Structure 1
Amino acid sequence: MIEILLTALWLMLPAYIPNSTAAVFGGGRPLDGGKTLKDGRRILGDGKTFRGLIAGTVCGMLLGLLQMYYMSRQTTIFGIELPSFGAMPGALLVIFALAFGALLGDLSMSFFKRRLGLKRGAPLPGVDQLDFVLGAWVLTYIVAPSWFTANFTFYVALAVILVTPLLHVSTNIVGYFIGVKKEPW
Structure 2
Amino acid sequence: MLPAYIPNSSAAVFGGGRPLDGGKTLKDGRRILGDGKTYRGLIAGTLCGMLLGLLQMYYLSRQDTMFGVTLPSFGELPGALVVIFTLAFGALIGDLSMSFVKRRLGLKRGAPLPVVDQLDFVLGAWVLTYLVSPGWFTASFSFYVALAVIIVTPLLHVSTNIVGYLIGVKKEPW
User: Does the pair score TM above 0.5?
Assistant: yes
CA offset digits 1:128-167 (Å, max 9, x no partner): 0000000000000001001000110000000000010000
Alignment pair present for 1:26 and 2:18: no
Residue 164 (structure 1) aligned to one of 134, 147, 153: 153
Alignment pair present for 1:106 and 2:95: yes
Which residue pairs with 2:75 in the alignment?
A: 86
Which residue pairs with 1:7 in the alignment?
A: none
- SS of the aligned residue for 2:8 comes to helix
Which residue pairs with 2:131 in the alignment?
A: 142
Quote the Cα distance in structure 2 between the aligned partners of 1:82 and 1:162. 19
Give every structure 1 segment of 4 or more consecutive aligned residues whose post-TM-superposition deviation is greater than 6 Å. none
Unaligned runs of 5+ in 2: none
Identity of aligned residues (%): 87
Alignment pair present for 1:132 and 2:116: no
- SS of the aligned residue for 2:126 comes to helix
Quote the Cα distance in structure 2 between the aligned partners of 1:175 and 1:71. 29
Ranked by relative contact order (alpha carbons within 8 Å, sequence separation 6 or more), the top structure is 1
Which amino acid counterpart does residue 36 of structure 1 have in structure 2? T
Which amino acid counterpart does residue 92 of structure 1 have in structure 2? L
RMSD: 0.3
1:115: how far off?
Answer: 0.2
Which amino acid counterpart does residue 93 of structure 1 have in structure 2? V
Unaligned runs of 5+ in 1: 1-11
Which residue pairs with 2:167 in the alignment?
A: 178
Quote the Cα distance in structure 2 between the aligned partners of 1:112 and 1:68. 34
Aligned pairs for 1:57-72 within 5 A: 57-72=46-61
Which amino acid counterpart does residue 93 of structure 2 have in structure 1? L
Quote the Cα distance in structure 2 between the aligned partners of 1:63 and 1:177. 24
Which residue pairs with 2:38 in the alignment?
A: 49
Which amino acid counterpart does residue 134 of structure 2 have in structure 1? P
Range moving further from structure 2, 135-144 or 70-79: 70-79
Number of equivalenced pairs: 174
Quote the Cα distance in structure 2 between the aligned partners of 1:34 and 1:19. 21
Quote the Cα distance in structure 2 between the aligned partners of 1:80 and 1:130. 25
Residue 142 (structure 2) aligned to one of 153, 158, 161: 153
